[in-house]
DNA sequence: CTGAAAGCGCTAACAA
DNA sequence: TTGTTAGCGCTTTCAG
């Protein structure tokens, strides 16, 4: 079908149009437009006036082609449908814009292949750097996908400092503390519904729970892995309850999983938290809305996005000050524990 | 501070590198890479081999500078924190990628100024087209911001066909039907919590309610306007209940507002739906999770994003077949009505 | 079937 | 303070 392309709207004024209108050379116009010094007040005024009249807008392609910066950065998230990530994106975008960068958001739908693909596309688009959230790719391939980028920041995944800055949410410590608290309250038979096997931060969460359990001579009673969304939580909880060995606590990879699990637990006639306590991670909006409201590990998501973006831009600009940041999640007790 | 820029990673191979390696001219290499005819099988093979060896990736800036397409499209949303929009973005991104386009997502945080600004940035980035969701800009400025783009699709906002394709969710009809149903069930004193005054689709929702009310000789008992998020819902519901004239139904601009309102209604000791029925719009995830689960007007969000993107690409490519689509929302009764 | 030349819009480097 | 030259990587003529 592919008919003729719609003709582009009358191409906007170029820098030489502006220069001509102001009666100066392109170079002078360029200097004025970029606020570089070296132009008499008078010339400057003339150029600026011409630019306004012609409503001149610089062509970012030409700029990108020439200079070696695009003032574009990418962010890759596993699932934009999980409210956790839009909050991070929001923080990152604000920080990016404040520094003159445009943000390219890519959703990977939990598919490692897509992740590699997207990182390559971003490279083609000549982004100045990338933020990757919860990368699912295995170490070697992730490194290969990240390395060609000028700068990178990984959220929730460790990586050699040389290749990427990292921001980790210390769920291990956080969940260990939370687990201890639950043990003190008399909980004994813990189950963990983890995320995908490929998730580094899922393993950290598990480790935190085990840490606390071990201190008290306890073991993890049951365990399931699942895709980190609502449906995954439902499935995993079903399997869990079928294997049912009188668990009294379910700790979940994230809030979505926890909320899915809660619905199954209710369905099976258990009372939360009396029979079974439930704990999530992330503190997304729905967590406070379910019934009873979900206890969870709160993470400052917008701050996280903001910090990641600042770190990324620092790295792009050769300031590798902060190589790694750790954020402590905070236990918020609501009605499920 | 602004230290020296981190040196860009060794620039990837260019088309002439590939050409050189294959022993042909740049032009031939270009033709092969773009699958344009006119190259002997043998030459073709050699070029392709060279490209692979050098892991050649075309420079999208050079392409964009020359040709007049960037294969990038933008989508503008008022608030990425509202789960309604990530779903639309998801559908749109999938459709875009399937056709070789990259999607640039911009969050406007409900600020008309930002909306204009973002549309200009997108123009600078030479996107081939834009999708704008729930534009808040007033008609004239919106038109000015949209018109310079080669193609545009507006979601939930009417516009001259020449300037943009439109996708409307017919909340007017949908809410009229829902309102009629509620009237049949004996509800009489309706309140409406609308969105911002600048929201076209907010006015349409209101009109639908009024349509049904008028048919039955009823009037809207109370009305409030607010920012379309959870906090907005809380505020508006407070004001509503203070003016309290025994309303028995609250219809809300969207689910977030409805959920905010529900919390206030509970707080004040009313029982939902016995004392007051609540109806939302959009059917976002949290709607099914609150207690009681929220009745709402369901919208197929991913399909909407998909349809918008197809329409946009059609327009970019000069196929203005579908100029306007109307989507019917569907009443989902859960526990609040 | 293949190549040479020109130029998209911009800026870095060097003159003047 | 200002201008000239050259070239970023690609594709669109137009010739061979």
The whole-number pLDDT of residue B262 equals: 96
* Structural domain boundaries in chain A: 15-57, 64-170+300-330, 171-298
The whole-number pLDDT of residue A3 equals: 38
* Mean of pLDDT over chain A: 92
Average pLDDT over residues B275-293: 95
- Give the residue from B148, B153, B109, B163 showing the smallest Cα distance to B130: B153
Q: Are A289 and A282 in contact (CB under 8 A)?
A: no
- Give contacts of B285 with chain A, Cβ < 8 Å: 83, 230, 286
Whether nucleic acid strand D comes within 7 Å of the CB of B33, the answer is yes
Whether nucleic acid strand D comes within 7 Å of the CB of B60, the answer is no
Please tell us whether the domain made up of B171-298 is placed in CATH 3.40.50.2300.
Answer: yes
> How many interchain CB pairs under 8 A, A with B?
149
* Mean of pLDDT over chain B: 91
pLDDT at A270 over 80: yes
What percent of chain A shows pLDDT beyond 70? 96
Under CATH, which number does the domain B64-170+300-330 receive? 3.40.50.2300
Angle at A60 between CA A55 and CA A62, to 5 degrees: 105
CA closest to C1' of C8 belongs to B66
Sheet of B152-155, strand order:
B102-107, B72-77, B129-133, B152-155, B165-169, B324-327
pLDDT at A273 over 60: yes
- Give contacts of A5 with chain B, Cβ < 8 Å: 68-69, 316-318
Out of B230, B291, B317, the one facing A6 most closely (by C-beta) is B317
Q: Are A152 and A165 in contact (CB under 8 A)?
A: yes
Q: Which nucleotides of C are covered by protein (CB under 7 A)?
A: 1-5, 7-13
The whole-number pLDDT of residue A34 equals: 85
Q: Which of residues 67-86 of B touch A (CB under 8 A)?
A: 68-70, 72, 80-81, 83, 85-86
Average pLDDT over residues A67-85: 92
Cα–Cα distances (Å) from B1 to A227, A317, B4, B30, B153, in that order, read 44, 10, 9, 42, 42
The yes-or-no answer to whether B64-170+300-330 and B171-298 have a common fold is yes
Q: Is residue B11 very low, low, confident or very high in pLDDT (cuts 50, 70, 90)?
A: low
Out of B2, B86, B148, the one facing A317 most closely (by C-beta) is B2
Q: Where is average pLDDT lowest: A23-32, A225-234, B10-19?
A: B10-19
Out of A8, A107, A286, the one facing B286 most closely (by C-beta) is A286
Interface contact B80-A59, CB threshold 8 A? no
Average pLDDT over residues B250-275: 96
Distance separating alpha carbons of residues A290 and B229, to the nearest angstrom: 17
Contacts of A104 (CB under 8 A, 6+ apart): A72, A73, A74, A75, A122, A125, A127, B102, B104, B105
Interface contact B124-A290, CB threshold 8 A? no
Q: Which of residues 264-303 of B touch A (CB under 8 A)?
A: 285-286, 289-291
Average pLDDT over residues A259-281: 96
Q: Are A198 and A227 in contact (CB under 8 A)?
A: no
- Give the residue from B78, B87, B140 showing the smallest Cα distance to B112: B78
- β-sheet bridge partners, residue A243: none
Q: Which of residues 215-234 of A touch B (CB under 8 A)?
A: 230
A206 vs A197, more confident: A206
Q: Straight-line distance from CA A67 to C1' C12, in Å?
A: 9
Backbone angles phi, psi at B240, to 5 degrees: -60, -50
pLDDT in tens, B193-221: 999 988 899 999 999 999 999 999 999 99
Q: Where is average pLDDT lowest: A22-36, A148-162, A196-210?
A: A22-36
pLDDT in tens, B50-84: 889 998 898 888 888 887 788 999 999 999 999 99
Residue identified by tokens 């049912």 is A244
Whether nucleic acid strand D comes within 7 Å of the CB of B25, the answer is no
pLDDT in tens, B153-179: 999 999 998 999 999 999 999 999 999
- Give contacts of B151 with chain A, Cβ < 8 Å: 6
CA closest to C1' of C9 belongs to A62
- 3-state DSSP of chain A: CCCCCCCCCCCCCCHHHHHHHHCCCHHHHHHHHCCCCCCCHHHHHHHHHHHHHCCCCCCHHHHHHHCCCCCEEEEEECCCCCCHHHHHHHHHHHHHHHCCCEEEEEECCCCHHHHHHHHHHHHHCCCCEEEEECCCCCHHHHHHHHCCCCCEEEECCCCCCCCCEEEEECHHHHHHHHHHHHHHCCCCCEEEEECCCCCHHHHHHHHHHHHHHHHCCCCEEEEEECCCCHHHHHHHHHHHHHHCCCCCEEEECCHHHHHHHHHHHHHCCCCCCCCCEEEEEECCHHHHHCCCCCEEEECCHHHHHHHHHHHHHHHHCCCCCCCEEEECCEEECCCCC
pLDDT in tens, A224-252: 999 999 999 999 999 999 997 789 999 99
Q: Is B102 on the interface with A (CB under 8 A)?
A: yes
Out of B2, B65, B80, the one facing A65 most closely (by C-beta) is B65
Residue of A nearest to B69 (CA): A8
pLDDT at B244 over 80: no
Q: Where is average pLDDT lowest: A231-235, A270-274, A307-311, B147-151?
A: B147-151
For the whole model, what pTM was predicted?
A: 0.91
Interface contact A8-B103, CB threshold 8 A? no
Distance from CA of A8 to the nearest CA of B (A): 6
Q: Which of residues 47-66 of A touch B (CB under 8 A)?
A: 57-62, 64-65
Average pLDDT over residues A267-287: 96
The whole-number pLDDT of residue B110 equals: 83
Distance from CA of B4 to the nearest CA of A (A): 6
Query: How large is the angle between the packed helices A41-53 and A15-22, nearest 10 degrees?
Result: 120
Helix (H), strand (E) at residue B165: strand B165-169
Average pLDDT over residues A109-132: 92
Average pLDDT over residues B306-323: 90
pLDDT in tens, B80-129: 999 999 999 999 999 999 998 999 999 998 889 999 999 999 998 889 99
pLDDT at B1 over 70: no
């Amino acid at each position: 079908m592919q008919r003729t392309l719609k003709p582009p709207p009358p191409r906007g004024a170029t820098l030489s149009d502006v220069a001509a209108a102001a009666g100066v050379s392109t170079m002078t116009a360029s200097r004025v437009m970029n606020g570089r010094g070296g132009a008499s007040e008078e010339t400057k005024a003339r150029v600026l006036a011409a630019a306004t009249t012609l409503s001149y807008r610089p062509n970012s392609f030409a700029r990108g082609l020439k200079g070696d910066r695009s003032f574009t950065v990418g962010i890759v998230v596993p699932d934009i449908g999980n409210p956790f990530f839009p909050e991070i994106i929001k923080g990152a975008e604000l920080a990016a814009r404040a520094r003159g960068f445009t943000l390219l958001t890519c959703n990977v739908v939990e598919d490692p292949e897509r992740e590699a693909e997207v990182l390559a596309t971003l490279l083609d688009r000549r982004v100045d750097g990338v933020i990757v959230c919860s990368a699912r790719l295995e170490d070697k391939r992730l490194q290969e996908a990240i390395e060609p980028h000028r700068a990178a920041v990984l959220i929730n995944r460790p990586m050699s400092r040389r290749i990427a800055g990292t921001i980790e949410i210390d769920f291990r410590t956080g969940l260990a503390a939370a687990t201890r608290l639950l043990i003190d309250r008399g909980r004994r038979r813990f189950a963990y519904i983890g995320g995908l096997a490929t998730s580094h931060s899922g393993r950290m969460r598990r480790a935190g729970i085990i840490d606390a359990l071990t201190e008290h001579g306890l073991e993890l009673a049951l365990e399931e892995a699942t895709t980190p969304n609502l449906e995954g939580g439902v499935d995993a909880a079903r399997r869990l309850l079928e294997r049912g060995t009188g668990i009294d606590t379910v700790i979940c990879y994230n809030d979505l999983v926890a909320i899915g699990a809660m619905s199954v637990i209710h369905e099976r006639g258990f009372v939360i938290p009396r029979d079974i306590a439930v704990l999530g991670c992330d503190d997304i909006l729905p967590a406070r809305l379910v019934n009873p409201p979900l206890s969870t590990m709160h993470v400052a998501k917008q701050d996280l996005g903001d910090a990641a973006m600042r770190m990324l831009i620092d790295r792009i600009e050769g300031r590798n000050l902060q190589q790694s940041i750790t954020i402590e999640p905070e236990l918020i007790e609501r009605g499920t524990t």
